[in-house]
Amino acid sequence: MNAEYNKHLARRWWEEMWNRWEFALARDIATPDINFRGSLGREMQGIPALHDYMRIVRDAFPDFYNQIDELVADAEHVAARLTFSGTHKGELFGYPPTGRKIQYAAAAFFTVKDGKIASGWVLGDLHALREQLAGAPATMP
């Protein structure tokens, strides 16, 4: 695969699968045994686990939106700078629904094998997210 194809694959991941909650798309763009770490800090393997993670995010933020700010790719990798946003409508990290609009930055790194995403590591700014859920600046440990 080439860099442009891998960028297209990443766009489908964020814009179609996540922004539209098209769970079934995972089977077309990810390997069955995908190794994935989401922006909420959870690690999982396989498409069924990925679907479970997507449900957790959707339950917390039904209108979760993934804005791609930048994509860089080569023949085997994709890196993305992202902005995530949504409305807090379900429990997350022990915080009950607040109805607050949230927004936080993230970076994602994918490995592509045989035309599909084989692994993904998404690093979200969880400190900023927790501050917004709490409604006050979080304290550092």
Q: Is the pLDDT of residue 72 over 80?
A: yes
- Strand pairing of 116-124 and 30-37? parallel
Mean pLDDT, the chain, rounded, equals 95
Residue 57's pLDDT band (boundaries 50, 70, 90)? Answer: very high
Residue 105's pLDDT band (boundaries 50, 70, 90)? Answer: very high
Quickly tell me which residue has 């339950």 as its tokens: 59
**Closest by CA position to 55, among listed 73, 72, 42:** 42
Instruction: Considering only the C-alpha atoms of the chain, give the largest distance between any 2 of them, rounded to a whole number of Å.
Output: 46
pLDDT digits (tens, 9 = 90+) for 28-54: 999 999 999 999 989 999 999 999 999
Residue 87 burial (CB < 10 Å; 0-12/13-18/19+)? middle
What average pLDDT does this structure show over 94-118?
Answer: 97
What pLDDT does residue 139 have?
54
Cα atoms found within 13 Å of the Cα of residue 56, Cβ hemisphere only: 16
CB 117 within 8 A of CB 79: no
CB 85 within 8 A of CB 62: no
> What's the 3-state SS for 20-65?
CCCHHHHHHHEEEEEEEECCCCCEEECHHHHHHHHHHHHHHCCCCE
- Alpha-carbon dihedral of residues 113, 116, 121, 125, nearest 10 degrees? 150
What pLDDT does residue 98 have?
95
Ordered structural domains, the chain, with CATH? 3-134 (3.10.450.50)
